[in-house]
Structures are given as structure tokens and as C-alpha cells.
Amino acid sequence: MSAAVAIAAVSELVPGRFPDQSTHSLYQGAVARLLAEWPIKPGDIQGLLVAPAGMADGVSDNIFVHERLIEELGLEARFAETVNAGGSTHAVMAIRAAMAIRAGV
């Protein structure tokens, strides 16, 4: 039997339109909000899964968003991916995260 995995902390940006911000800056804001709302530090985050920012906003094809965010935010992620699976991207991210946790990554 596999070990249970749970989402232990969730944060989100205020819903809305942000024409003056890049998708990447929204990612930065989401991680900053998570760190502000929960008792965790950047070094506590061992995994990061994101959708490709450039593909989402149509401006660029930056498919290595995870690498840039890890560096900019001082994260020590042992597991990180930029995931694009169309409409199922976020479900795939949750599955990949659970698999990584079960594997001890």
C-alpha cells in the first residue's frame, strides 16, 4: 500500500486580470504569498511544479520557468518541472508531486 500524500498548504492570488504584470511576475507573487501566509521558508520548499509562463501568455516560449524561479526565490528544490499538459496541467502536477513525495524525492 502506498503512503498517503496530502496538500498541506495552499495560497492563491486574488482572482482578476493583471495586464501590467508578466506571467512570470505572477508566479513570483504566488510563491511570495505562500511564504507570507504559511510558516515555511524558501529552504523548506523541496519541489516546484509550474506551467510554462511564456506559453500561457503567448509572449515567449520559456519552458524552463521552474529553473528561473528556483534561482530568483532562493529555493532548494530537489524536484522541479515545468509541465504543460493542456487542460489537465494542474491535475498532472498534483499527480507528479504525489509520486515524487512517495518516492522520497
Q: What is the pLDDT of residues 23-47, one digit of tens each?
A: 888 888 988 899 999 998 888 888 8
Distance CA 69, CA 4 (A): 28
**Local structure of 92: helix, strand or coil:** helix
**pLDDT of amino acid 39:** 94
Mean pLDDT of the region 7-14: 86
pLDDT confidence bin for 86, thresholds 50/70/90: confident
> β-pairing, 47-50 with 79-82?
parallel
pLDDT confidence bin for 58, thresholds 50/70/90: low
C-alpha cell at 81: 518541472
> Mean of the per-residue pLDDT values for the chain?
85
